[in-house]
């Protein structure tokens, strides 16, 4: 299944994408794509529905029908750094021996095609196309072998980053990772049964039509199962929590000379089987 949330920002309704790429309304069955809806039991109930019996939503998704973040009520937005060896190299940082874990504030979450706003005075805003994991079954202290049982599905994430605040303003990466609009999620969450091998997905990002990132999740240092297990020892993972898993090489900071977003650009990114995002970059001065 491809589950999504559609409508105006802050008033999104739950939906499902049918085989023809049209949105079907789920409001009669669930209040949101969130919380217990993402548990194995909740997903099983949705899977039992016939999309053809659900009300058809007017409009074409991502054209004249806005899609919001594909998951509602995200309580934790956990991020992993330097999880591709070649990205660590372009960042002039060592490949980590354990996952690098930081936070993106949940207030940064926006829809897949909403504008990304450069913070006022910022000069080093950058992009990062990433595979997002959506937790379904609560996880606390799980093993690597158990970990994938706790995954509801996957989505595209743009881990937008302000490098000065991340790296030059007195430690803790979190400072540069959670500005408003720095967490586009979606367009939809694809349930885990449709992605049998999350370690075999192509991932890419373009800015103004120029492809900067063109990688594959095969080259992750720590795979999805390892990351879920590791994070579950640091915190209890709850339904709807999102873990974004790191980015392949090709970020602006890694270019020679470096390339940062100034405003007016258009970012386009996607992951095989998970859809695409498009964001206009807006300068706030």
Strands (E), the chain: 2-6, 13-17, 23-25, 77-81, 100-103, 109-110, 116-118, 125-126, 129-135, 151-158, 161-162, 183-184, 189-191, 202-207, 210-216, 242-244, 266-271, 275-283
Position 118 scores a pLDDT of 98
- Beta strands 242-244 and 189-191 are unpaired
Contact by Cβ (8 Å): 25, 36: no
Q: Check: CB of residue 158 under 8 Å from CB of residue 269.
A: yes
| Cβ neighbours of 58 (radius 10 Å) | 9
Please state the pTM of the whole predicted model.
0.97
Q: What is the predicted pLDDT for the residue at 90?
A: 84
The fold for domain 71-283 equals: Fumarylacetoacetate hydrolase; domain 2 (3.90.850)
CA angle 151, 276, 281 (to 5 degrees): 115
pLDDT tens for the chain, 285 residues: list them.
999 999 999 999 999 999 999 999 999 999 999 999 999 999 999 999 999 999 999 999 999 999 999 999 999 999 999 999 888 788 887 888 999 999 999 999 999 999 999 999 999 999 999 999 999 999 999 999 999 999 999 999 999 999 999 999 998 999 999 999 999 999 999 999 999 999 999 999 999 999 999 999 999 999 999 999 999 999 999 999 999 999 999 999 999 999 999 999 999 999 999 999 999 999 998
What is the per-residue pLDDT for 146?
98
Q: Extract the tokens encoding 195.
A: 């992605």
pLDDT at 178: 98
Given a contact cutoff of 8 angstroms between Cβ atoms, the answer to whether 206 and 214 are in contact is no
pLDDT at 171: 83
- pLDDT of amino acid 2: 98
* pLDDT the model gives residue 93: 79
Predicted pLDDT at 89: 81
Tell me the three state secondary structure of residue 56.
Answer: strand
- The rounded distance, in Å, linking the Cα atoms of 219 and 83 is 9
Domain ranges of the chain: 71-283
CA nearest 235: which of 34, 76, 35?
76
- Pair 281, 266: CB distance under 8 Å: yes
- Structure confidence by residue, pLDDT tens digits, 183-212: 999 999 999 999 999 999 999 999 999 999
Six-digit token pair at 11? 């008033």
């Amino acid at each position: 299944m491809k589950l999504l949330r559609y409508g105006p920002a802050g008033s999104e309704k739950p939906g499902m994408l049918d085989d023809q790429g049209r949105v079907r309304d789920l409001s009669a069955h669930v209040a949101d794509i969130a919380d217990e809806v993402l548990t194995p039991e909740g997903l099983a109930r949705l899977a039992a529905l016939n999309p053809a019996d659900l009300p058809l939503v007017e409009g074409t998704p991502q054209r004249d029908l806005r899609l919001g973040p594909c998951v509602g009520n995200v309580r934790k937005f956990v991020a992993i750094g330097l999880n591709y060896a070649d990205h660590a190299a372009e960042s002039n940082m060592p490949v980590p021996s354990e996952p690098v874990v930081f936070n993106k504030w949940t207030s940064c979450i926006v829809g897949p095609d909403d504008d990304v706003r450069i913070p006022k005075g910022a000069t080093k805003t950058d992009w990062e196309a990433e595979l997002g994991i959506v937790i379904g079954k609560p996880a606390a202290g799980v093993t690597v072998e158990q970990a994938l049982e706790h995954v509801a599905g996957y989505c595209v994430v743009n881990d937008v980053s302000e490098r000065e605040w991340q790296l030059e303003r007195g430690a803790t990466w979190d400072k540069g990772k959670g500005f408003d609009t720095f967490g586009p999620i979606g367009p939809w969450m694809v349930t885990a049964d449709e992605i049998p091998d999350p370690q075999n997905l192509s991932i890419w990002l373009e800015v103004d039509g120029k492809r900067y990132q063109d990688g594959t999740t095969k080259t992750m240092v720590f795979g999805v199962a390892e990351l879920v297990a590791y994070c579950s020892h640091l915190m209890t993972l709850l339904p709807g929590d999102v873990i974004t898993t790191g980015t392949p090489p090709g970020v602006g900071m890694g270019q020679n000379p470096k390339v940062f977003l100034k405003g007016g650009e258009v970012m386009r990114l996607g992951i095989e089987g998970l859809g695409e995002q498009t964001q206009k970059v807006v300068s706030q001065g």
